[in-house]
Amino acid sequence: MRIPTLIMAGGKGKRIRGTVEKPLLPVLDKSLIERTIKAVKDSGRISSFYIVTSKNTHNTEEWCLMGGFNVIRTDGKGYHSDLKQAILETRLDGPVLVVSSDLPALTGSYLDTVVSTYESANKDALRVLVPLRSRVELGLSSSSKSEHQGKMYVVSGINILNGAKILEKKLDEHTMVTESLEASLNVNTPKDLEIAEKLLKGTK
């Protein structure tokens, strides 16, 4: 199975307080959006990809267009609204991988694992959660939390869903729990960025 991917890059990124839009924020030698695009390109399970922008990320959109990438401009009403709009406008009516553009440790091989897990689960959707404890131990911020089987987790920003069912309120969902750095390390604050650079230097 090879599936299309949406790279979500339209958020306001208020918490990072950077001088550039969050997707363009440099992490060591590459920006967040460059790192995400490389991971998607390196995956053997992805057929095509689109970068989802909004009124909040004009410069990111311009950078992507100059690079020849497929861009979907949404209304910037919020993550879930923008996601629905992007899927409906591109008429993606099968499995769609959705990846946030703030995961600097993401790799193609990890995305292959996510797609394989979705395929094996045989559900309408898959979400990737990171134990809250793992984020706390790394010193990272933990704003987007989710409860699963009585324990607290942090939303990774990696999901797969059936585009044909995007308007349904509840999907039959499989939960993938992981402590891998690829999913755990996302950048939302200046401290997150500092920690990410230290960790990524150690993996070189």
Summarised one tens digit per residue, pLDDT across range 112-158 is: 999 999 999 999 999 999 999 999 999 998 878 899 999 999 999 99
Mean pLDDT of the chain: 94
Per-residue pLDDT of 9-24, as tens digits, reads 998 887 787 779 999 9
Give the residue-averaged pLDDT of 182-202: 93
The correct answer on CATH 3.90.550.10 for the domain covering 3-128+157-178 is: yes
Q: Which residues contact 182 (CB under 8 A, 6 or more apart)?
A: 103, 105, 106, 107, 110
Q: Do the Cβ atoms of 32 and 20 come closer than 8 Å?
A: no
The model's pTM: 0.95
Domain boundaries along the sequence of the chain: 3-128+157-178
User: Angle formed by the axes of helices 58-66 and 32-42, to 10°?
Assistant: 40
Q: What pLDDT is recorded for position 169?
A: 83
Residue found under tokens 């891998």: 180
Per-residue pLDDT of 45-76, as tens digits, reads 999 999 999 999 999 999 999 999 999 999 99
